[in-house]
Structure 1
């Protein structure tokens, strides 16, 4: 007999046997049914299901939330406020003021606020005087050396504000020290190396490589592109809301007009015999339940899988056998190759930066004031390698304008 739905709790299922016995089950988030008992009072089963809903949704009851809030207000000390208050004040007093006075760029301020949101998530309810150097050091050491170089100065600035307002007598961030970044070991792609890997790679990876190089988009954004949602076949555009910027006040939102080579790669993906809503897709040789559960579609390509498959075919191709394994370029470095080729083809740096999602404030402020929906900035991906004197490029020594060099050094 099919389970009967309960009106009070959708996850509570009741099965009545021919002999009249009632079995109560709770439907777990993964779809499995957990027994709550047989012939127990329906009110007991409903209460148990409601309690499970709260526990599994990590939600507190309204009464508990109100009680906790009342307790917080009773214990509030204006000389030792929670970090949530200190962070909010710092954003307005220091960051917003610096932006209005033109002392720091909007991009810099949004980057700092993104980091402050992480501090808020970790320390919101902790009082400012309870934060120790140990707490800050534990957070910093989870970051890469390059990221530490950004977090340490910001933490010093945040707690300097706490000192100047009288919330603290000392700055616990003063003793922090960012790790020294290791010298870059990976070499850059050369066009000949890229083409050799591409020649050896399976069709789905060829398409992924070409889409990455001509669009200049990061790995995490490429794997999320969907046919119906993001690609306009009539206008030959790809719409991308860059994931790395989604928590910024003004995320990077672009429409890429596709040149012929990028368009051909997209068309090949659309006509693939492996049916999948995602532009970059492949049919894996093996699929287990854990993989299936972790992916939005069986043929969706996870970012790590894309990296591992590129490394596999890179090494099979022999394109970079003259380099030690740790020196060989990865999938991420295709973006750097694309930036170099656009530059060598004579495209202005503003064009390249807009396509890569780093245009100046004047050209990327594409959000309309008021209550209208955000509109994407139209950019173009029209690289034509045939217009480049490839033989004249010194792949190891060639220098780029500082703005483009910064794009290349950025991790994907």
Structure 2
């Protein structure tokens, strides 16, 4: 019987050599199938080297027809290097990706936790059951989001190891991603206005004004400096993604009666500072004019939010809206006034913007 025709993508490869593309990052890696034992051997991502080794293996098969004794012989032992050894190599891969400093810190802590669990195990000996049991522990503890993040990182770790020939398969692919139900409530316009009224510090009011107008993240807002205002635009370089935005200072949000240019002018006070959001007086080690710490802003926002909720007699549950939820509220308010929220938030895809536009049932739906 004639052999089955090869797929179009493998026609330029010698017999028994196959290519596979990682859909996540586009990396192509090669594997060789021993036609005698049907065993698969990872050859990494170097095409020329993979072809060379496959041709050599095919020639060996042609010269030596395996006898029954040879076929029955035990498979040779392949050195199984440890997970910890591969992580040392994997860190170099991460450096080549030129990730942001905040992302690198997050990945660094994830790798520490993974090494504590899988560090001494051989890469080839880690099974799908090992990974599934580890991830299930997070799910049972109610940490579905963490389980999802750990699975994503483990999948990438083994995918890169597969491309380098350390393993022949990815044990993470067969596991199921945890279903994550977002618990944190959205911030409504009503609660935002009430929280704004309860804000005791001028810098908190300015921070909230900038958050609702620009839709930027907390860290970016606190890093705004006056020289970022250039030719009628507020220039923003997002720390998380590197996205570069120019937001017109004429931007106005009618529902709250705020104009960006006016808010920037309000940030100029009697205290000399380069930062828009700064301490207005010296408190303990924080000198007047110095920028605010992110945690300080979040705690003061939470305190004002709780006072506002008490006055409105609102039950915010176990996961009340945080300072970051102003980013979602800004997206929804600007969309209602006819602006493109995706451009404002600096998202690369509309799918991510849709996540922020979802009110999660916190707003009424008007029916004519």
The corresponding residue for 1:221 is 220
Alignment of 1:57-136 (within 5 A): 80=81, 82-85=86-89, 118=107, 129=122
Q: Is the 8 A contact 2:347 2:353 kept in 1?
A: no
Q: 1:189 to 1:240 in 2, by over 3 A?
A: same
Q: Is the 8 A contact 1:216 1:338 kept in 2?
A: yes
Alignment of 1:82-231 (within 5 A): 82-85=86-89, 118=107, 129=122, 145-159=144-158, 162=161, 166-168=165-167, 173=172, 180-186=179-185, 188-202=186-200, 203-228=202-227, 230-231=228-229
The corresponding residue for 1:404 is 353
SS of the counterpart of 1:281? coil
The corresponding residue for 2:72 is none
**Aligned-CA RMSD value:** 4.5
SS of the counterpart of 2:122? helix
Q: Which of 334, 345, 354 is the matching residue for 1:342?
A: 334
The corresponding residue for 2:270 is 273
The corresponding residue for 1:316 is 307
SS of the counterpart of 2:166? coil
Instruction: Tell me the distance in 2 between the aligned counterparts of 1:343 and 1:326.
Output: 29
SS of the counterpart of 1:243? coil
Q: Is the 8 A contact 1:252 1:357 kept in 2?
A: yes
SS of the counterpart of 1:326? coil
Unmatched segments (≥5 aa) in structure 2: 1-77, 253-258, 360-368
Alignment of 1:13-52 (within 5 A): none
Asked if residue 239 in structure 1 is aligned to residue 235 in structure 2, the reply is yes
Please, what TM-score do these two structures have when normalized by structure 1? 0.49
Instruction: Tell me the distance in 2 between the aligned counterparts of 1:167 and 1:116.
Output: 25
| Greater displacement, 203-212 / 161-170 | 161-170
Please, what TM-score do these two structures have when normalized by structure 2? 0.54
Instruction: Tell me the distance in 1 between the aligned counterparts of 2:180 and 2:164.
Output: 34
1:324 to partner: Cα distance: 3.6
Q: Is the 8 A contact 2:278 2:289 kept in 1?
A: no
The corresponding residue for 1:354 is 343
Q: Is the 8 A contact 2:80 2:122 kept in 1?
A: no
Q: Is the 8 A contact 2:272 2:289 kept in 1?
A: no
1:273 to partner: Cα distance: 2.4
1:146 to partner: Cα distance: 2.7
Q: 1:178 to 1:204 in 2, by over 3 A?
A: same
1:340 to partner: Cα distance: 0.6
Instruction: Tell me the distance in 1 between the aligned counterparts of 2:316 and 2:87.
Output: 47
**What is the number of residues matched between the two proteins?**
254
Q: 1:118 to 1:322 in 2, by over 3 A?
A: closer
Q: Is the 8 A contact 2:236 2:244 kept in 1?
A: yes
The corresponding residue for 1:283 is 280
The corresponding residue for 2:260 is 262
